Amino acid sequence: MSGVAFILISILTLAAALATATLPNLMHAAFCFVLALLGLASFFFLLGAEFVGLALVFIYIGAVAVLIVFTILLTRRDSKEHHGVNWSGVLIAFAVFVGLIWAVLKTQSLSIVPPHIRALTVRQIGQTLMTGYVWPLQCVGLLLTAALIGALVLVMEEKK
Amino acid sequence: MYRIMTPTLPLVLIVSAALFSIGLLAALSRRHAIFILIGIEMMLAAANLNFIAFWRFAPPPHPSTGVMIAIFSIAISAAEAAVGLAMVIAVYRHYRTTNVDEYDQLKG
Amino acid sequence: MSSALDQIFVHAKHWLLSWIAGAPGWVVQIVSSLINIVALLIVFLTLFALISVLERKILGRMQNRYGPNRVGPFGLFQPVADGIKMLIKEDIVPARADKVLHFLAPVILAAVAILTLGVIPYGRNMTAFRIDGGILFFFAVGSATELAVFMAGWASNNKFSMLGAMRAIAQMFSYELPLIITVLPAVMVVGSLMPDRIVFAQGEYTLGIVPRWFVFTPWGAAAFILFFVSGLVESNRTPFDVPEGESEIVAGHMTEYSGFKYATFFLAEYLGMFAVSGMAVTLFLGGWHAPARVLEFVPSYLWFFGKLSALLFVYIWLRATLPRTRVDQMMNVAWKFMLPMAFTCVIAAAVWHYGGRGLRGWLWSLLVIVVVYSALSILLDTRRKFARRVYRFAE
């Protein structure tokens, strides 16, 4: 059951990601990115990390994806790419892929049996965030505030 | 046959490696600034998948570190996307293009 | 007896599942989910048909006319006639439209609305998907609405559609913040993101008479009003139907849609309205709990749908009463008033909790809300900043 779901989700995610990397129509590529993220979120669900999957959907599909499509719209002058394939990029990406696969298959310590784990509840995540990870949490809050203000300052109209 | 299909750690890692490479492909072969950003986001997402996979397949008395790092990394990549897209818009105002090959002056 | 009536749907489902008791675990799981989905669809599509005719009748009464009364008894078969009309209409797709996205947008909207309906507890033991982060699920899935609206606007390749979609996204983004932040106090007080637990926490009675619904605390009342208004905006209802204001931009992002796709938009809008009202009932109005101990013999789902209908009636009432707001005024209210008030609700809930959850905490949290509300009203008062308006008539 989870094997079939695993294969379906990986095919969906990777196909959508590949479409994002190659489609000439930018808006279609952006929506394929959303699809790839949805696949990734279902991956997280499959692996038992529901909270992370939901957070991914919430942040990426609810906010980042809308930002991306808006930016494409605002910089619409060239919403289609006219150029040939950049072979060096393809080559490097493929080399990295082969290297990673080689590393994964070569490592012996990875083939452990999946232990039967209890699901991580939202309550536990909240308690961990509020005890052991308070400082990182505060730093992320500060970072997000800085990013918010920084993004606003960057796009503000310059006074002539 | 069924044994092979159940997700094991190497299988998940292979999928995440593929996702990472596709992100790299997008970042390297696209000329549009936004899609270079999307490629970087995709690589970050693949890294998140690794964190979750290692958390899931860790030996029994495991802490929830993998999940925590994934949550923080999602928050940070959201901040990165916001600033990055704002920069794309700001640069577009100067150059009137989003093709990164044409960003060839330091002075705007 | 009353508990048998209360659990009748749960027992019915168990009875249905007992037919396939011998099947492997995953088959039972899939069939169980399918039963839930079918039940959800039947209930809410019926409710949609009913509300669409009742809305027109209530609007008619409020405007001193009859409303639909030709098709069937009291015009009750009107939705069937409307459905047939919508189905046999021509489905027009603009020549320059993006065919795939144009088709996908209404589908995604309706799917999202149905998914969000799944996490709401409709009665004792009656939640379709019981997941740990139910409320997060509700808002995470609900946030895909914006993308679908954008898809509709962009794929239509029409200026009105695009402008409408822009307006819709702008207002949804601005009001999503108060919508989510007003949920926080309830989640904080209960200490769980699971809708079932939140309903369960509102089950007791203070002094044996007043139910412990969150709407009866100061922070709960304020949060409920803010949540309700934000919900109005999220479901694009009058007085906040700016994105589809007929007199300004035809029909907004739905301009280029016709026939059954338009009907799907309509359906998604109503389902979204049910979902937001259902969430409001769950979070603040005690979910399926009865308002008094003597009334507990009435089945729990009847209480839920009763409260839901009351909220839906308020939606219709507002539509009959209020004129459409202006875009800039709406955004100003979202950022300058709703958002600070939503944060105040969070603080007031904390004050209520540390004040001992009794009368003392109640009064302190009331004080916090009143102080912030008055400060905001004084600060945002624009009347004194402008010169007196002078009217010049033709002489």
Q: Which domain holds residue A53?
A: 1-81
What's the residue count for chain C? 395
Q: Are residues A60 and A123 in the same domain?
A: no
Specify if C74 maps to a domain.
Answer: no
* Number of independent structural domains in chain A: 2
Locate B102 and state its tokens. 């044409």
State the complex-level ipTM: 0.82
- Quick check: C140 contacting A, CB < 8 Å? yes
Q: Are residues A59 and A123 in the same domain?
A: no
Specify if A99 maps to a domain.
Answer: no
Residue partners of C327: CB distance under 8 A and separation at least 6: C167, C170, C171, C242
Q: Give pLDDT tens digits for C215-251.
A: 888 888 999 999 999 988 888 887 887 777 677 777 7
Q: Are residues A12 and A70 in the same domain?
A: yes
Whether C140 sits inside 8 A of A58 (CB atoms) is yes
Distance CA A4, CA A154 (A): 46
Specify if C10 maps to a domain.
Answer: no
Give SS3 for A16: helix
Specify if C45 maps to a domain.
Answer: no
Measure in Å the smallest separation between the Cα of B105 and chain A Cα atoms.
19
Whether B74 sits inside 8 A of A68 (CB atoms) is no
Specify if C76 maps to a domain.
Answer: no
Q: Which of residues 93-122 of C touch A (CB under 8 A)?
A: 98, 101
Locate B85 and state its tokens. 């897209």
Specify if B83 maps to a domain.
Answer: yes
- Quick check: C37 contacting A, CB < 8 Å? no
Q: Which domain holds residue C339?
A: 85-379
Average pLDDT, integer, range B53-71: 78
* Among candidates C26, C137, C146 on the partner chain, residue whose Cβ is nearest the Cβ of A54: C137
Has residue A142 got a pLDDT over 90? yes
The enclosing domain of B31 has a CATH number of 1.10.287.3510
Considering only CA atoms, which of A100, A25, C383, A103 is closest in space to residue B30? A25
* CB under 8 A, 24+ apart: contacts of C84-88: C86/C259, C86/C260, C86/C262, C86/C263, C87/C259, C87/C260, C87/C263
Whether A50 sits inside 8 A of C132 (CB atoms) is yes
Specify if A107 maps to a domain.
Answer: no
Q: Which residues of chain C have pLDDT under 70?
A: 1-2, 245, 383-387, 394-395
The reported pLDDT for the residue numbered C346 is: 92
Specify if A129 maps to a domain.
Answer: yes
Specify if A105 maps to a domain.
Answer: no
Considering only CA atoms, which of C228, C180, C186, C217 is closest in space to residue C339? C180
* Among candidates C132, C144, C154 on the partner chain, residue whose Cβ is nearest the Cβ of A61: C144
* Number of independent structural domains in chain C: 1
Chains B and C touch (3+ CB pairs under 8 A): no
Has residue A80 got a pLDDT over 60? no
Residue partners of C3: CB distance under 8 A and separation at least 6: none
The reported pLDDT for the residue numbered B1 is: 35
Local structure of residue A76 (DSSP, 8 states)? G
Is the CA virtual torsion A96, A97, A101, A102 positive or negative?
A: negative
* Among candidates B30, B71, B88 on the partner chain, residue whose Cβ is nearest the Cβ of A75: B88
* Number of independent structural domains in chain B: 1
Specify if A106 maps to a domain.
Answer: no
Q: Which domain holds residue B76?
A: 2-102
Residue B57 confidence class, pLDDT cut points 50, 70, 90: confident
More confident call, B30 vs C344: C344
Average pLDDT, integer, range B81-87: 88
CA distances from residue B23 to A21, A86, B38, B66, C50 in whole angstroms, order as listed: 7, 14, 8, 22, 49
Beta bridge partners of C206: C210
Q: Are residues A63 and A127 in the same domain?
A: no
Determine which of A9, A28, A32, A40 to mutate to test the interface with B (most B C-beta atoms within 10 Å).
A40
Examine the fold and report which residue of A60, A81, A102 is the final residue of a domain before the chain moves on. A81
Distance CA A96, CA A101 (A): 9
Beta bridge partners of A25: A80
Specify if A74 maps to a domain.
Answer: yes
Whether A66 sits inside 8 A of C169 (CB atoms) is yes
The enclosing domain of A6 has a CATH number of 1.20.120.1200
What is the identity of the amino acid at C20?
I
Residue partners of A88: CB distance under 8 A and separation at least 6: B28
Specify if B107 maps to a domain.
Answer: no
The DSSP bridge pattern shows strands C205-206 and C210-211 to be antiparallel
Q: Are residues A139 and A75 in the same domain?
A: no
Q: Are residues A77 and A137 in the same domain?
A: no
Q: Give pLDDT tens digits for C29-39.
A: 888 888 888 88
Residue partners of A66: CB distance under 8 A and separation at least 6: C146, C147, C150, C169, C173
Has residue A79 got a pLDDT over 60? no
> How many contacts, defined by CB atoms under 8 Å, are there between A and B?
232
The reported pLDDT for the residue numbered C24 is: 76
Distance CA C62, CA C82 (A): 22
Has residue B88 got a pLDDT over 50? yes
Q: Are residues A77 and A124 in the same domain?
A: no
- H or E element, residue A83: none
**HEC secondary structure over chain C:** CHHHHHCHHHHHHHHHHHCCCCCCHHHHHHHHHHHHHHHHHHHHHHHHHHHHHHHHHHHHHHCCCCCCCCCCHHHCCHHHHHHHHHHHCCCCCCCCCCHHHHHHHHHHHHHHHHHHHCCCCCCCCCCCCCCCCHHHHHHHHHCHHHHHHHHHHHHCCCHHHHHHHHHHHHHHHHHHHHHHHCHHHHHHHHCCCCHHHHHHHCCCEECCCEECCHHHCHHHHHHHHHHHHHHHHHCCCCCCCHHHCHHHHCCHHHCCCCHHHHHHHHHHHHHHHHHHHHHHHHHHCCCCCCCCHHHCCCCHHHHHHHHHHHHHHHHHHHHHHCCCCCHHHHHHHHHHHHHHHHHHHHHHHHHHHHCCCCHHHHHHHHHHHHHHHHHHHHHCCCCCCCCCCCCCCCC
Residue partners of C371: CB distance under 8 A and separation at least 6: none
Is the preceding peptide bond at C340 cis, omega within 30 degrees of 0?
Answer: no
Specify if B37 maps to a domain.
Answer: yes
Specify if B108 maps to a domain.
Answer: no
CA torsion C192→C194→C197→C199, rounded to 10°?
120
Average pLDDT, integer, range A97-103: 87
Specify if C213 maps to a domain.
Answer: yes
- H or E element, residue A111: none
Residue partners of C28: CB distance under 8 A and separation at least 6: C17, C20, C21
Beta bridge partners of C211: C205
The reported pLDDT for the residue numbered C362 is: 86
Specify if A20 maps to a domain.
Answer: yes
Specify if A100 maps to a domain.
Answer: no
Locate C210 and state its tokens. 């007043």
Whether C132 sits inside 8 A of A69 (CB atoms) is no
Out of A125-139, B93-107, C30-44, C145-159, least confident range: B93-107
**HEC secondary structure over chain B:** CHHHHCCCHHHHHHHHHHHHHHHHHHHHHCCEHHHHHHHHHHHHHHHHHHHHHHHHCCCCCCCCHHHHHHHHHHHHHHHHHHHHHHHHHHHHHHHCCCEHHHCCCCCC
* Among candidates C140, C150, C154 on the partner chain, residue whose Cβ is nearest the Cβ of A57: C140
Measure in Å the smallest separation between the Cα of C171 and chain A Cα atoms.
13
- Contact present, C341 and C178 (Cβ < 8 Å): yes
- H or E element, residue A59: none
Has residue A118 got a pLDDT over 80? no
* Among candidates A30, A56, A74 on the partner chain, residue whose Cβ is nearest the Cβ of B89: A74
Has residue B61 got a pLDDT over 80? no
Specify if B75 maps to a domain.
Answer: yes
Specify if C174 maps to a domain.
Answer: yes
